[in-house]
Amino acid sequence: MIEQSLPALAKALATKEISSVELTQLYLDRIARHNPQLNAFITVDPARSLAQAHAADARLARGEGGPLTGIPIAHKDIFCTQGWLTTCASKMLSNFISPYDAAVITRFKAAGAVLLGKTNMDEFAMGSSNETSFFGPVKNPWNLTCVPGGSSGGSAAAVAARLAPAATGTDTGGSIRQPAALCNLTGMKPTYGVVSRYGMIAFASSLDQAGPLGRSAADCAVLLNSMAGFDERDSTSLDRPGEDYSREINAVTDGQPLAGLKIGLPAEFFGDGCSPEVMQLVEQAIAGYRKLGAETVAIRLPSMGLSVAAYYVIAPAEASSNLARFDGVRYGHRAPDYQDLNEMYSRSRAQGFGAEVKRRILIGTYVLSHGYYDAYYLQAQRIRRLIASDFAEAFRQCDVIIGPTSPSTAFKLGEKAADPVQMYLSDIYTIAVNLAGLPAISLPCGFAGGLPAGLQLIGNYFSEARLLNVAHRYQQANAWHLQSPAEL
């Protein structure tokens, strides 16, 4: 059961081969057994999950089930969940029980999915290794001495270790795609505005986007079908006609399913900076795509090299503003001792935030301050525009852009923790996508030294169904995504 796809689980539930209560209990047992080692979950609440499973079984018995009814799904602890602890992996919110549900949670509830638990992450989603969590690092199920990637590392580790059939994540600069790559999963960052940010704790609002993490592109399509949609409570949510993201996956194809597809190979993705082992696997995957009928074209993304620098001005600037709300007044951590209001604020924040979050707040406040705004923030915004124009130009020559997701396979716990710049470079291939607001997907493309590597596909705005299809056709012809780590 634990190796099944979401459609297979839905079928098993519909035919009463298994009940939602049994399926949920199976995963709760696995969490109880393996989570002490992995630390993938911050909160599990078996009684609540099983109550939802009972309700799902009743709905299934009435014949009112949908593709996710009764299936347990793990959610990153950045999504507010009514009645559940919602910490964002920070001491600041370590006592915060959300009074309301994020839009994503409401949508999964409406679909009848079971909330299996809240997953560990980097504090306020700032990081690439899950080591900045107040609740301790997450281990990579492929090698317990390695990181699972971040910031959605708990979600990735949980799905890879089969403690959950699928999970949600959020991606501000790569936090769905990079952990997917490091844990042998498929993960998608949708076009900015496709999934509502309502109730998703804000890091950098103009970059943050929620998306699915699953074992295949087909599973991600099922998840995205439930997550996407207009929400008037998020002013950047896009009011577009509903889409079935599985439609191209389910379409019948012949021997050359990707005939006519033009794949762009940006020179900037194939130079220095990527480990030779990962690059070799990426090249093999490109050869695989040619066999499926795709043709490749050389393209350029000339401003790509500036993306990490621009991101580390814009994201901290927005974070410094978003995190101003955590002041110890209405909710969250409050310092026990203080003399006056100012000391209450400063002590609560000094105690509540970890080192990386403080670093971002300081950088962000600095780049927005009088005299530096023009030199840093405005320049970064200009670069952001150039990066978006690069992609617009590239998509005149190709349908999708291909490259590595991460420059290396999973690195050792502690290896980069002391060097923020090395850590920031983990996202060198993912960040430009967020700056441009484009959709992108990471999918497994092989192993180096026993650790998985990820292939990234980037599409034009609203090409999610196309991207999922291009990933799915590869997964029909190659079985990397079906490999699971050894039982712990």
Residues lying near ligand GLN in the complex (CB under 6 A) are found at 125-128, 151, 171-175, 203, 315, 427
* Identified catalytic residue from 151, 237, 408, 442: 151
Annotated catalytic, 358?
no
CB of 424 to ligand GLN, least distance (A): 7
ω before 484 within 30° of 0 (cis)?
Answer: no
Please, which residue, 427 or 464, has the CB nearer to ligand GLN? 427
* Identified catalytic residue from 20, 90, 175, 226: 175
CB of 423 to ligand GLN, least distance (A): 7
CB of 197 to ligand GLN, least distance (A): 13
Annotated catalytic, 76?
yes
Please, which residue, 4 or 128, has the CB nearer to ligand GLN? 128
CB of 171 to ligand GLN, least distance (A): 5
* Identified catalytic residue from 19, 20, 49, 76: 76
CB of 325 to ligand GLN, least distance (A): 18
Annotated catalytic, 416?
no
Q: Annotated active-site positions, please?
A: 76, 151, 175
